[in-house]
Chain A
Amino acid sequence: MKWFYIRWGGVLIVAATIGIFGIQRYNRDVTAISPDRLLREQPTQMVRVLGMVEAGSVIKEAEGKPIGFQLSGEGAKIGVQYQGEEAENLRDLKTVVVVGKWNSTTQTFESEKLALVPNYGFVTAAYLISLLPMGLFLFNMERKVALLYILIKEEKVYQPEQLAEEQLERR
């Protein structure tokens, strides 16, 4: 049984390490903040902001010039200057994620990348619901096999039930 637990301990360590990397990556590349939080925290580094494109706010001046629009969410609005590729998703009332930096002097969010709402909650739920029970199912089976080997080893000689009962009665 010792090796069994060592092996599964190793699997657990590997799984925990992957989980930590996954959480780090999520916090770095996937998670998005609201315009309200952006205004409160005024971050200086690159951030992802999730919000809805305000109706009638998209202004495209000329080819090659940044597209301006208002992004709203959780009761706050921010002005965005988008300089990336022209995206089909940039339209009124569409919920999008804009990736870029907050310029506190001009009070605008300068973005070069536009992403769809990731819906990562569904993806995470699907993977956790599959992989955790899978690990538990396998662990349980392997543990049972290991325990059965021990039990069988302990059952030294075959004793028919009737004979065993007679012996018990005699005692």
Chain B
Amino acid sequence: MIVSRLIARLQRYEGWFGVAAGLLIMVGLYMGLVTSSPDYYQGEVVRIMYIHVPAAQSAMFAYTVLFGGSVWYLWKRDPIVDNMSHAAAGIGVFFTLVALITGSIWAKPTWNTWWTWDPRLISFAIMLLILVGYLMLRTFLEDKEKEATYAAIIAIIGFVDLPIIHFSVEWWRTLHQPLSISTRGVSIARDMLIPLLLMSVGFYLLFAYMLMVRTQMLYLQHLLEAKRGRMLSKVHL
């Protein structure tokens, strides 16, 4: 199967993804925390952006991978792709939590509140709930094939939240600032944009690396269970 072969091929370069992510994040952190200038209005607090924005982008990317994997699984019934989707959901929960917590820390000195019922924040929190629900469903069901199918359906339905997250700041003008990089142009200073881009690319690579490690982990878990003769299902053999 095409995707399985692609995953296997990418897996060979796993280490390179990790190294590249580490280097880009280190350079991005240095530029973001040391060389970039503070914001005119927010002062030094703006430096939270260099971790908050890439974490949020990676969380959304994780969900996109989960969505793509789920569609592919329902179509081709490829168990490796199901493992990959399962792995993406776990990592997605992690990045969503990081984005929500860092966003909350950023909100306190800028908006004077830890949390507000802003559409961007609500839609992002809903994504966390969908991902947690997805993972919970995967632990409840005994039948592996049913588990994979139902989980894929939930992931596909939940994808509707992603465009809402992305366009929420355009549709509802509330506290959350609008997009800094959009079709209208770039409204961010160059010395802030470069570390932000470095961190974003670094986080995407880190996500790819984590995805490879976690997919491998889930696959090996199933393999071990199958080897021990406890869970010989059609899905994982």
Q: Which residues of A contact B (CB under 8 A)?
A: 18, 22, 25, 116-120, 122-123, 125-127, 129-131, 133-134, 137-138, 141-142, 144-145, 148-149, 151-152, 155, 158-161, 163-164
Contacts and interface: CB of A to CB of B under 8 A. Distances in A.
A116 B217 contact: no
A130 B50 CA distance: 11
Nearest to A152: B224
B interface majority secondary structure = helix
Given A120-B44, A127-B51, A130-B51, A161 B213 contact: no
Contacts of A141: 210, 213-214, 217
A119 B105 CA distance: 11
A26 to B, nearest CB: 10
B166 to A, nearest CB: 22
A149 B228 contact: no
Interface residues of B, number: 37
Contacts of B101: 126, 129-130
Contact of A122 (B109, B216, B229): B109
Contact of B230 (A144, A145, A161): A161
B55 A118 contact: no
A130 B213 contact: no
B221 A130 contact: no
Contacts of B26: 18
A89 to B, nearest CB: 10
A119 B45 contact: yes
Given A130-B55, A161-B229, A123 B47 contact: yes
Contact of A152 (B102, B213, B220, B229): B220
B94 A137 contact: yes
B109 A119 contact: yes
A79 B51 CA distance: 39
B102 A126 contact: yes
A18 B105 CA distance: 23
Contacts of A161: 228-230
A140 to B, nearest CB: 9
Given A133-B98, A138-B210, A155-B228, 6 more contacts: A119-B43, A126-B102, A129-B105, A130-B51, A130-B98, A131-B51
